[in-house]
């Protein structure tokens, strides 16, 4: 899963700056009396989504004009076109709009660089916390807080693992899945922060049975994998990859912080 075209530290820093700028645009709306519209799929849409989208798209067009962009807010690009892309930006300008509307802080800005179906650079910015998670293959995974950059890594699974689960999209399939898990603690979070918790070694396993889109997961998948995790689709437990089919919906998947723990065998026991 290694790109033949290495990602530079300068590019990672530039994308982080873009994500922070988008986060600032989001916070201007967050701190106002904003309105909420409804998209065709019934999901919420705010002015913050659109402001962040334009901030990111415009900045990436200047930074890397040769690399196309696919964003949640401009996803109407047919597969015949994007299947020819070998490298592109995959963006969720505001991941966790439901959490944004609830004003609970669990939302992020996600920017990923996809190369040959794999995420090779990922930036996850958390506007409310003013922190960021960044990674690139060959460069490492880091959390940035108060301007300080610290490397992060997954942990060895403890006797009682911590599972992180979705806050707003829990379903019967997830409950059935968890019923087969070993004794564990559960943490509920929104947006791509669930990946970040595994990457940072504060959670051990993130199962997702409900629908997500490719822009929801790409940046955080890069972060988790560079930090030592594996991200596998369900039900076949094969690597989760991008731009391989017409639909932009992901299958179910799991994020495993400690691949040596044997989650598949334990869940099927």
CATH fold for the domain made of 9-151: Fructose-1,6-Bisphosphatase; Chain A, domain 1 (3.30.540)
Domain covering 162-268, topology: D-Maltodextrin-Binding Protein; domain 2 (3.40.190)
Q: Does 77 have pLDDT greater than 60?
A: yes
Least confident interval from 9-18, 20-29, 91-100, 235-244: 91-100
pLDDT of the residue at 251: 96
For strands 185-189 and 162-166, give the pairing: parallel
Residue 149 is inside which H or E element, if any? Answer: strand 148-151
Nearest by Cα to 83 from 233, 246, 212, 214: 246
Task: Report the pLDDT value the prediction gives residue 150, as an integer from 0 to 100.
Answer: 98
What confidence tier does 265 reach under pLDDT thresholds 50, 70, 90?
very high
Alpha carbon of 226 to those of 46, 99, 264: distances in Å?
32, 27, 21
Mean pLDDT of the chain: 93
**pLDDT for position 269:** 65
What value does the mean pLDDT take over residues 185-210?
95
Band the pLDDT of 41: cuts 50, 70, 90: confident
Angle at the Cα of 90 from the Cα atoms of 86 and 91, rounded to 5 degrees? 165
Q: Could you tell me if 203 and 257 are in contact, meaning their C-beta atoms sit under 8 angstroms apart?
A: yes
Does residue 153 have a pLDDT over 80? yes
Q: Are 70 and 89 in contact (CB under 8 A)?
A: yes
Kind of pairing between the strands at 230-233 and 253-256: antiparallel
Whether 1 shows a pLDDT value over 70: the answer reads: no
Name the pLDDT band for 256 (thresholds 50, 70, 90). Answer: very high
Percent of the chain with pLDDT over 70: 97
Q: How far, in whole angstroms, is CA 13 from its chain's centroid? A: 18
pLDDT category of residue 16 using cuts at 50, 70 and 90: very high
Strand order of the β-sheet with 118-126 is 69-71, 87-95, 108-115, 118-126, 131-136, 140-145, 148-151
Whole-angstrom Cα distance, residue 114 to residue 134? 15
Domain residue limits, the chain: 9-151, 162-268
């Amino acid at each position: 899963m290694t790109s033949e075209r290495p990602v530079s530290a300068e590019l990672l820093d530039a994308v982080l700056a873009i994500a922070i700028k988008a986060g600032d645009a989001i916070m201007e709306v967050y701190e106002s009396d904003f309105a909420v519209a409804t998209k065709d799929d019934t999901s919420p849409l705010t002015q913050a989504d659109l402001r962040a989208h334009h901030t990111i798209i415009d900045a990436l067009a200047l930074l890397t004009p040769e690399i196309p962009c696919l964003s949640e807010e401009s996803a109407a690009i047919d597969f015949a076109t994007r299947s020819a892309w070998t490298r592109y930006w995959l963006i969720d300008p505001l991941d966790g709009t439901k959490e944004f509307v609830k004003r609970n802080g669990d939302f992020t800005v996600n920017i990923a660089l996809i190369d040959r179906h794999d995420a090779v650079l990922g930036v996850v910015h958390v506007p409310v916390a003013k922190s960021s998670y960044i990674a690139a293959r060959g460069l490492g995974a880091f959390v940035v807080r108060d301007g300080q950059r610290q490397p992060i890594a997954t942990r060895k699974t403890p006797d009682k693992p911590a599972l992180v689960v979705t806050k707003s999209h829990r379903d019967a399939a997830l409950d059935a899945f968890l019923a087969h898990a070993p004794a564990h603690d559960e943490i509920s979070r929104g947006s791509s922060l669930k990946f970040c918790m595994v990457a940072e070694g504060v959670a051990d396993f993130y199962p997702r049975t409900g629908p997500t889109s490719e822009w929801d997961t790409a940046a955080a998948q890069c972060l988790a994998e560079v930090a030592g995790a594996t991200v596998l689709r369900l039900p076949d437990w094969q690597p989760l990859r991008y731009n391989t089919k017409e639909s932009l919906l992901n299958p179910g998947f799991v994020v495993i912080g400690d691949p040596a723990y044997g989650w598949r065998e334990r869940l099927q026991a």
